[in-house]
Structure 1
Amino acid sequence: MADLTVPNLFNVKGKTVLVTGGGVGVGKMIASGFARNGANVYIAARKEKQLKEATEELKKIASGGSVDYIVANVASKAGCDALIAEFKKRSSTLHVLVNNSGITWGGPYENFPEDKGWDNVFAVNVKSVFYMTAGLTDYLTKSASPTDPSRVINISSTASVDPQSEGALSDAGNGTWSYQASKASVNHLTSQLAVKLAPSYVTVNAILPGVFPSKMTAFGLREAADTINAGQPMGRVGTPSDMAGLSLFLASPASAHITGQHIIIDGGARLFKSKM
């Protein structure tokens, strides 16, 4: 019988992990979980100062692995290609790709901007998921096997299944019209990539976070904390351990037979809202 102990089932030690948008927020939470458990972690984002600070913090909690950063902008195919090329200079393998980079834009329904509101949001939130995964498939498949597959984890949002675009997380009179649509696209792209990559022994799953502390939710948590907390049936928003725990599961032997899934992590808030 296979080793069913927790240290074996949830082992990610020695795995090489790349997290886009890994300098802050959810991406940093995920990177922290991998660093603390012995993985070799690369974080990528646009702002070098944030990356340097995050890297130093991650190194302090790292347990046997390494931590490094790459400055990159995944808002275009060229930017994704540049990140991929730089990563391949530094590492000869990749076991886990976390497509976390994401942006949002709030604006009025009657005058929602095309470039910043739609084009840039879809470029970062959707196109980068495809180009990063396609560009790193050769690395992901190098050492993958049916019992030890490589992993792609796409960070979506509960906004992908919630059609409300105007609420506490955006300013009065504004809505995040493109964000919800972009994250719904991430969900379906996750399913498409799961079908494509399963024969190559790569699993592809999506995490759909509810409210977690991040740059994206900072406005809402600052301006409408009471309203947001009132909608949390567990009495709190998400924490780093919540996000790290699910990410580690999706990258560990325990989830080797799971692919094409869209996993909501919101403390039941979506179900609670449906009762209101």
Structure 2
Amino acid sequence: MVSNLFQVKDKIILVTGGGSGIGYGISLGFVKNGAKVYICSRDFEKCKKTAEELTKIGPGKCIAIKADLSKLSDIKNLFEEFSKYEQSLDCLVNNSGANWGEELEKYPDQAWDKVMNLNVKAVFNTSVAALPFLRKNATSQDPSRIINIGSIDGIRVPRLETYAYSASKAALHQLTRTLADRLAPEHILVNAIAAGPFMSKMTKQTFTQFEDLVKSSVATGRFGNNEDLEGLLVFLTSRASTYITGAIIPLEGGVLIKSNL
């Protein structure tokens, strides 16, 4: 049955930065479809509150773990804590990220350190730390997954001056392909989502200030929403996508075709 192809009930999912923004929408989609979702954030109290809220929505459940993924020690602690609950992981969603906008000649050096560290290096370190759990139950018929949240700004030239962000997302897309090639023989599929404009804590200030400009760049004329995230994430974690790896999938309402007009 087609419905069985898109089944994620009882799968174990870890969403970094899953307590807010796009991460919240991703976590919500998995919980609504019966998955057991772990979310992590530097702000543990907020993360815990979100986990409680999502569990009430159900039918899946959500558990919060504190972690600052810009620190390698916290990444190690994240999986030590995770191992107290689970011995395996079906899907890691690398969602945590940072942005920094500034004029070209004022663009600060610390922006590069912060953005590249969280958007690229932390994704690599988190993925490596997750491997023992991802390998546990991975088979050719039911592979484990790593899903990286990239951006259309890693494909096109962004309209705003976010130099480190766009460079980091292009790097993340290439890292996705490299990891996909390395991990395919171990039945771990690695894909990325090139996300377009979604309203979140990270983007709210910019998108509110430039709302008309942002919407005019989207062929469908709107921001992305939680159901947009749910549909694609469930697909990429279910049996329906077991023959897809190394893909950079646009989820952007037609921004890229608009850019090419």
Q: Say whether the fold is shared (TM-score over 0.5).
A: yes
CA contact (8 A) 2:6 2:240 kept: yes
**Equivalence for 1:249:** 235
- Partners of 1:104 and 1:26 lie apart in 2 by 14
Q: How does 1:144-183 map to 2 (within 5 A)?
A: 144-164=138-158, 166-167=159-160, 175-183=161-169
Q: Deviations over 1:99-147 (max 9, x none)?
A: 00000111221132112x0011111100111111111111101111101
Q: Is residue 2:43 matched to residue 1:57?
A: no
Cα deviation, residue 72, structure 1 = 0.5
CA contact (8 A) 2:54 2:61 kept: no
Q: 1:151 is matched by which residue type in structure 2?
A: R
**Equivalence for 2:80:** 85
Structure 1 gap segments, 5+ residues each: 168-174
Q: Percent identity?
A: 42
1:272 to 244, 258, 261: 258
Deviates more, 1:100-109 or 1:221-230: 221-230
Q: How does 1:23-172 map to 2 (within 5 A)?
A: 23-63=19-59, 65-115=60-110, 117-164=111-158, 166-167=159-160
- Partners of 1:37 and 1:146 lie apart in 2 by 23
Cα deviation, residue 214, structure 1 = 0.6
- Partners of 2:47 and 2:120 lie apart in 1 by 22
Cα deviation, residue 273, structure 1 = 2.0
Q: 1:20 is matched by which residue type in structure 2?
A: T
- Partners of 1:81 and 1:59 lie apart in 2 by 26
Secondary structure (helix, strand or coil) at the match of 2:27 reads helix
- Partners of 1:79 and 1:113 lie apart in 2 by 26
* TM-score, length-scaled by structure 1: 0.92
Secondary structure (helix, strand or coil) at the match of 1:216 reads coil
- Partners of 2:216 and 2:108 lie apart in 1 by 32
Secondary structure (helix, strand or coil) at the match of 1:90 reads coil
Q: Deviations over 1:142-181 (max 9, x none)?
A: 11110100000000000101223x53xxxxxxx2110000
* TM-score, length-scaled by structure 2: 0.97
Structure 2 gap segments, 5+ residues each: none
Secondary structure (helix, strand or coil) at the match of 2:250 reads strand
Cα deviation, residue 235, structure 1 = 2.2
Secondary structure (helix, strand or coil) at the match of 1:89 reads coil
